[in-house]
Amino acid sequence: MTKAERTRQLILEKAAPLFNTKGVAGTSLSDILEVTKLAKGSLYVHFENKEDLAHEVVDYQLDRLANVVETAMSRKKTAKEKLFAYIDLYLDPLNPPIIGGCPLLNFGMEADDTDEVIRKKVHQLVEKAQQNIRSIVERGIETGELKSDWDAKEFATTMFAMVEGGIMMSRIAGNNKAMQVIARSLKNEIEEKVN
């Protein structure tokens, strides 16, 4: 890892939680300089401008999220276990694995009307996440673990919506009650589909 690569990585790591909590518009370069302990000129060695940095930070955060999910699920064998692992990842939206909460929700809702580039990046991962859930259910049906009358695609959509909605509710409430109700409800629904 060259010096440049290390510095670039440092900036992304330090800037990511700022953008994810305060938003892109709400985060200034001086905020980033403060946490990185770098001078302003250094930022521009590694990034074209604030917009470019924001886009790279989004990539960085979405990669992290994808990895967290991937790791948690790959540890499990059965479809049910994998789905439960996914749900468990989001059980505590007030102390989330990624500071500031789900970047899909945060960046997505800020960017939907303001930044087409970010919107598309977020969209890609939203699609991938649903595809992931869907594939697990479909494979579960194929192996006979899950009942075959289950609409995998529809379930993927509703499950994803419930999780994101639950995160929103819990973060707004300042407690995790909503998310716990939702997790229980989702797990019941899955349990009913296990043969």
Partner DNA sequence: TCAATAAATGACCGATCGGTCGTAACAATA
Partner DNA sequence: TATTGTTACGACCGATCGGTCATTTATTGA
For binding to a second copy (CB under 8 A), which residues are involved?
21-23, 25-26, 100-101, 104-106, 108-110, 112-114, 119, 122-123, 126-127, 153-154, 157-158, 160-166, 168-169, 171-174, 178, 181-182, 184-185
User: Minimum CB separation from a second copy for residue 164, in Å?
Assistant: 4
Position 4 contacts DNA (CB under 7 A): yes
| Residue 13 C-beta: closest distance to a second copy, Å | 18
Beta bridge partners of 194: 146
The smaller minimum CB distance to a second copy, of residues 38 and 169, is found at 169
Q: What is the DSSP letter of 2?
A: -
- Using rule CB under 7 A, residue 7 touches DNA: yes
* Residue 164 C-alpha from the chain's centroid: 9
Give me the least distance between CB of 41 and a second copy, in Å please: 25
**DSSP β-bridge partners for residue 146:** 194
CA 147, CA 128: separation in Å to the nearest integer?
23
User: Within 10 Å of residue 117's Cβ, how many Cβ atoms?
Assistant: 13
Q: Taking CB under 7 A as the criterion, which residues in 31-90 touch DNA? A: 31, 37-42, 44-46, 49-51
CA 66 to chain centre: 7
Nearer to a second copy, 64 or 123 (CB): 123
Burial (Cβ within 10 Å: 0-12, 13-18, ≥19) of residue 119: middle
Q: Which is nearer to DNA, 52 or 145 (CB)?
A: 52
CB within 8 A of 96, min separation 6: which ones?
A: 90, 102, 167
- Asked if residue 109 binds DNA (CB under 7 A), the reply is no
**Crossing angle between the packed helical segments 152-173 and 177-191, to the nearest 10 degrees:** 160
Residue 190: which of DNA, a second copy, none does it interact with, CB under 5 to 8 A by kind? none
**Could you list the residues that contact DNA (CB under 7 A)?**
2-4, 7, 27-31, 37-42, 44-46, 49-51
